[in-house]
Amino acid sequence: MPMLIVRQRKPLKALSLPTQFIQDPFRHLKPILVIGAGQHLLEKAAIPMLEEDTGLITAPSCSPSVLAEFIQPIAVHRHPTREQLST
């Protein structure tokens, strides 16, 4: 289960590897936590930020409550509603 933390936006913006890093688990319905400036990679990777997608958690910064919120998506392991949302 990927966790992506990006402190600065510029260095990763031009790279394709970080977007692939986030696209693969998204396609495999895995839980994803994106913190901070990494949120721009969701747009670059064409990943929709839908409220109904319980496997995708975004937060402006890391905190114990954010990590606690991510425990439930990890426990579910796969999020099949994501397939239904993208069709």
Indicate which CATH number applies to the domain containing 22.
3.40.50.880
C-alpha distances in angstroms, 44 versus 15, 23, 55? Answer: 10, 10, 19
Give the pLDDT confidence score for residue 28 in this predicted structure: 92
| Radius of gyration from C-alpha coordinates of the chain | 12
Give the pLDDT confidence score for residue 75 in this predicted structure: 92
Please choose, from the candidates 8, 54, 14, the residue with its C-alpha nearest in 3D space to the C-alpha of residue 35.
Answer: 8
Question: Domain range holding 38?
Answer: 3-86
Structural contact between residues 40 and 9, judged by C-beta atoms closer than 8 angstroms = yes
Overall domain count for the chain: 1
pLDDT band at 73 (very low <50, low <70, confident <90, very high): very high
pTM for this predicted structure = 0.78
84 SS3 class: helix
- Per-residue pLDDT tens digits for 17-65: 777 888 889 999 999 988 887 788 888 888 888 888 999 999 988 899 9
Structural contact between residues 60 and 40, judged by C-beta atoms closer than 8 angstroms = no
